Amino acid sequence: MKQVRNTKAKSEVLDLINNSDTALSHHIIHEKLGDLCNRVTIYRILDRLEEEGHIHKIVNIDGVVNYARCNSCQKDLHNDNHLHFNCKKCNEVICIENVIPRIDIPKEFIVEEYNFIVSGICPKCA
């Protein structure tokens, strides 16, 4: 069995994401952590946190990967099939969990996950 390491850097990254109202990019996380750890370590931590079901990835309208907390995920079962809003002014990505789009896929397809990005202007920027 693989041992899960809980380092100070991992705890700090998870705290940053858990305490944010918006999804955070790797760049923002690295900026906020300062000299605590390097870029590669942050990528490894983010991968581990996603594998453990603590966070999920969102690709914004510019192709930048952002990370947000999971509210009802487990290690082997991510449940992040909700809407994400990407503000065109401030570039923040916000999880909108109470809106789940309806998708009609032909029966021969097996859907495992999806990622919906809606773009526009958030209430802060309107």
- Judged by phi (left if over 0) then psi (alpha if -120 to 50, else beta), residue 58 lies in beta
Per-residue pLDDT tens digits for 79-117 = 666 788 999 999 899 988 777 777 888 999 988 777 788
Q: What domain range is 56 assigned to?
A: 8-120
Binding residues for Zn(2+): 87, 90, 122, 125
Is 126 part of a structural domain of the chain?
no
CATH code of the domain in which 75 resides? 1.10.10.10
Closest-CA residue to 49 (of 30, 68, 22): 68
The pLDDT assigned to 2 comes to 45
pLDDT at 1 over 50: no
Looking at residues 27-42, what average pLDDT do you find?
92
Is 3 part of a structural domain of the chain?
no
Binding residues: 87, 90, 122, 125
Based on the structure, what is the number of domains in the chain? 1
The pLDDT assigned to 74 comes to 60
- The residues with which 24 forms a beta bridge, in sequence order, are 67
Helices (H), 1-114: 8-18, 26-33, 39-51
Q: What is the pTM of this model?
A: 0.80
